[in-house]
Amino acid sequence: MKNWGPFLACITCALASQAGVAQEIGKATSFVTNGSYSQTEAFDEKKVCSKGKPCGDTCINVNYTCRINTPSPYVPTTPTDSTSVPEKPPQSGVMAGGRYDGIYQSPISDNSWVSVHHNDVRIVAAQFESQLQFNSAITSSLGRVTPPVLSTWSLLGGTFSGNQGNVSGEMEYGACNISLMAVFSDTGFSLTATSATQTTLGKASGYDCGAYMTDIPWPLLYKRIF
């Protein structure tokens, strides 16, 4: 029998030379099979997994997604240029929520409170009162009743600056136009009447609005309770 070993070895060498195969650790250089140079590619040696699939230097379940070397999602940044920040609206348009907003207890009656709401330029105040042992009858469309307690309220509004508010409105059951000045602190405010005049109802009924200025020991100190 003829010895084909040297012949086969020669053919193997020729094919290897024609393919231009060369291998390094962790890298490979590839050529086209006709012997002419095509391109060179470098790659890292990949993890060989008996189960699952490679992901970096480990193996993961074939149903999982490999996140290694996955670009982070784009997150738009907020411009820091001061010219892009909207201008602060005028203070006259700001809603109530001022430093002195709250409920204040009257110093002359446990049944009287004032609710205050303001911004930098405007103030609104509502006074609530409960008159005990009110024995006069009241008639409505539902009938006639004599309540033991009559609760009333008066609404006043005006200007606000710094810690001082100047308010006015109808009080004393609509008989008097009252103007008041309130000076606030974090614990309360002092209240002083600046004027008191009769409304049309006050004139018709002869209501003494001037007594509002003289019979009350101004200034009154209201304590903040809420």
pLDDT, residue 64, reads 78
| Cβ atoms of 60 and 68 closer than 8 Å | no
pTM for the structure as a whole: 0.58
Residue 23 has pLDDT above 50, yes or no: no
Residue 153 has pLDDT above 80, yes or no: yes
pLDDT, residue 25, reads 37
Percent of the chain with pLDDT over 70: 68
What is the per-residue burial (b if ≥16 Cβ within 10 Å, else e) of 92-112? eeeeeebebbbebbbbeeeeb
Instruction: Let me know how many helices (H) and strands (E) the chain has, helices first.
Output: 3, 14
Residue 28 has pLDDT above 50, yes or no: no
Q: How large is the average pLDDT for residues 185-203?
A: 97
pLDDT band at residue 87 using 50, 70 and 90 as cut-offs: low
Average per-residue pLDDT for the chain: 79
pLDDT, residue 58, reads 82
**Which residues, other chains included, contact 58 with Cβ-Cβ below 8 Å and sequence gap of 6+?**
47
Question: Is residue 31 packed enough to be buried (19+ CB in 10 Å), middle (13-18) or exposed (0-12)?
Answer: middle
pLDDT band at residue 213 using 50, 70 and 90 as cut-offs: very high
Residue 11 has pLDDT above 50, yes or no: no
pLDDT, residue 210, reads 95
Q: Strand, coil or helix: what is 172?
A: coil
53-57, 89-93, 109-113, 166-170: range with highest mean pLDDT: 166-170
Q: Strand, coil or helix: what is 163?
A: coil
Nearest of 143, 151, 154, 182 to residue 166 by alpha carbon: 182
pLDDT, residue 73, reads 61
71-85, 117-131, 132-146: range with highest mean pLDDT: 117-131
pLDDT, residue 76, reads 60
Separation of alpha carbons 217 and 194, rounded Å: 13
